[in-house]
Amino acid sequence: MSLSVEDAARIGGSDIAGILGLSPWSTPLSIYARVVAALERRALAREDNGQMRRGRHLEAAVLRLYEEETGYTVVPTPGTYPLDKPWQRASLDAVAYAAENAHDRRVVEVKTAGLSEVRHWGEAGTDAIPQHYLFQCEWYLGHAIRTRMVELTVADVAALVAGDLRIYHASHDAELFAMLEAAAERFWVDHVLPRRPPPVTEPLRDADAAGALYPRHNGEAKDWSELATEDQVAVREWLRAREERMDAERTEKAWEARVRLLLATTPSLRGLPPDTGVRRVDWKQNKPGTATDWRGALEAMRYRGDVSPMQYAEIVKEFTTTKEGARPLKAYAIREEEQ
């Protein structure tokens, strides 16, 4: 779901695990960057990975499967609804109703998982779902109960796991909900309100978050003597790590040249010792590709006037060349199940 600027400025269920440092996708700093940017009326570019696209496209189908499996009537609930505090947000996927029992109204959350994620999901009918999803469900369920959107103190998680529908049941835990709400409020009070960024916890993701938080320069240059001791340490450590990375890259390229020479025309090296952490090294050429000089092709079409579809294809072919496929050197790590 794409968030509006207003919703991006609030803390929602999918943020809770990230605030606690338990999310595979977000960190406290990345959530802070999104919220602050939205409060300043600028939206950050949202990463749209394959898992997100899969979830969006399959959500309606999973809800239909859930209806067939359970006999409940499902009402999708797009968007958010008002909560107790202006910084809170809850965006439920759906609410399900039992025709024979008006009091059986429950939260339904939709998830999808590919083959590589199957091991994180337990037996259907239990609450054995990934922890970050459990926290998300608790956030939605707690708020839905508080606002009387539902009466049943259980959320159903309709998960399409490697193509199979599994229905899990996450029960409301008032103590856990209170803890999650307190953590979110602490985050808001300690970091968002005073504009005090949380510490870096995932360097690879947090470097991008910091860049997104401050996309433009402003004001005067700082002098080294103006920096606090811990800030001077940060600059020194960055410069040291930068130099080490450059040295490591030079060393890697030197050994890569040796490996390319020893492999020569050999496509693959197999049987590497387990202590290398690599199961094989490939040096295979990719299939040939093509490159079209579209500017030249368009000029040729303009010169020749009206062209038929056949002539169009001939002109494009004339300005298209075949390029040899690249031959990248790749190392394939030992898979977890092979260890």
DSSP H/E element including 205: helix 203-213
Q: How far is Cα 263 from Cα 176, in angstroms, rounded to an integer? A: 57
> pLDDT per residue over 257-268, tens digit each?
999 999 999 999
pTM reported for the whole predicted model: 0.75
Q: What's the number of CA atoms in the CB half-sphere (13 Å) around residue 58?
A: 23
CATH number for the domain running over 5-192: 3.90.320.10
Q: What is the DSSP string of 232-297?
A: HHHHHHHHHHHHHHHHHHHHHHHHHHHHHHHHTT--EEE---GGGTEEEEEE-PPPPEEEE-HHHH
Q: Are 66 and 96 in contact (CB under 8 A)?
A: yes
Q: In which residue are the tokens 């600059």 written?
A: 235
Q: Are 94 and 156 in contact (CB under 8 A)?
A: no
Q: How far is Cα 27 from Cα 18, in angstroms, rounded to an integer? A: 5
> pLDDT per residue over 100-153, tens digit each?
887 889 999 999 998 888 999 999 999 999 999 999 999 999 999 999 888 889
Q: Are 99 and 93 in contact (CB under 8 A)?
A: no
In this structure, of 32-46, 121-135, 155-169, 253-267, the range with the lowest mean pLDDT score is 32-46
Strands (E), the chain: 73-76, 94-98, 101-113, 154-161, 164-171, 268-270, 278-283, 289-292, 320-323, 329-333
> For the chain, which residues make up each domain, given as ranges?
5-192, 227-264, 265-286+328-338, 289-323
